[in-house]
């Protein structure tokens, strides 16, 4: 994949994660969190959901951008090695 393709994929993913974060904040935190039980057998997963979703979104974003940057560097090294070999 070319560097331009990787960058385009990175920007698309950034926009998708931003939309996901917006939905999480506007729909879950603002509206649905009020309906979640605060005591009982299902209270623990609801508390962890407040932490898990932002961490997962951030991990996805960082993983994609690391792939964009490292993939571009590896591609350039491969091109340089192919040029050096006769």
Packing angle between helix 3-23 and helix 43-84, nearest 10 degrees? 170
Average pLDDT, the chain: 81
Nearest alpha carbon to residue 8 among 59, 80, 72: 72
- pTM, two decimals, is 0.71
Mean pLDDT, to the nearest integer, of 50-54? 87
- Give the lowest-confidence range in 29-33, 45-49, 73-77: 73-77
């Amino acid at each position: 994949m070319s560097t331009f393709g990787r960058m385009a994929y990175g920007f698309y993913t950034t926009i998708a994660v931003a939309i996901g974060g917006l939905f999480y904040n506007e729909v879950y935190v603002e509206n649905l969190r009020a309906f979640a039980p605060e005591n009982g057998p299902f209270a623990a997963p609801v508390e962890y959901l407040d932490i898990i979703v932002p961490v997962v979104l951030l991990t996805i974003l960082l993983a994609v951008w690391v792939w964009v940057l490292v993939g571009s560097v590896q591609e350039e090294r491969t091109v340089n090695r192919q040029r050096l070999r006769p």
